[in-house]
Amino acid sequence: MSRFSDWWKWFTAPPEPSVFDAGRASIQYPPLGRNELAAFHRCETHLLREIVAARSWGRQVEARGSQFPTNGWLIMPGRVYSALMDDTRGTGPRPPVMDAVVAWLADAGAVQPLLERTRDDIATSNVAERRADHAGYVPDDGTREWDHDTWQVDPDRMLEVYPHLVEANSDWKRAATR
């Protein structure tokens, strides 16, 4: 076969689903109109990227030396929303849409808010790490509005909501076999 033929097969092949694809949840989505559902799915896709890396980020937080009372699976929806705004140059869905995605997952039991004290301790740890790792930060610049927006993922319940996360990485495979 020629290179052109190989390229054409690759180019016209049906897309393979990704673990980050929105709309693959096993629970019912909220009743939304077409535009609202598109915005909801856009936020869901970005949040899924954070959910896939939840255990990895939890390990990073645990490695700072302080033991926080969490299960080690952490996400920061505010940080995800900030990244979404960067990716869309400020034209993406508004903050209430991301809040609706988080509330939808919280209603399903897949994510839980941390205690305020725990969130504050993790936020303080985030700021300290940011200042240590990035010399350009000054005390007034260290805190971000999403530093206190930390949630805990229940991996068992999240796998019920998104069974395809088993294919995401070794952390999710391990969580599925427990």
What's the predicted TM-score (pTM) here?
Answer: 0.81
Average per-residue pLDDT in the chain? Answer: 84
Residues 6+ apart with CB under 8 A from 115: 69
Task: For residue range 88-123, list pLDDT tens digits in order.
Answer: 787 878 888 888 999 999 999 999 998 888 888 888
Average pLDDT score over residue span 133-157? 75
The single residue listed with the structure tokens 């954070």 is: 50
Average pLDDT score over residue span 139-159? 80
Give residue 119's pLDDT.
84
Share of the chain above pLDDT 90, in %: 27
Q: How far apart are alpha carbons 5 and 107 in whole angstroms?
A: 49
Structure-model confidence comparison of residues 149 and 20, the more confident one: 149
Residues 6+ apart with CB under 8 A from 153: 51, 54, 71, 73, 74, 75, 110, 111
Give residue 162's pLDDT.
92
Q: Angle at the Cα of 135 (from 132 to 140), degrees rounded to 5? A: 85
Average pLDDT score over residue span 160-171? 90
For every residue of the chain, DSSP letters joined together read --HHHHHHHHHHSPPPP-TT-TT--SSPPP---HHHHHHHHHHHHHHHHHHHTHHHHHHHHHTTSPPPSS-S-EE-HHHHHHHHHHHTTT-S--HHHHHHHHHHHHHTTSEEEPPHHHHHHHHHHHHHHHHHH-TT--GGGS--GGGG--EEE-HHHHHHH-GGGGGT-HHHHHHHH-
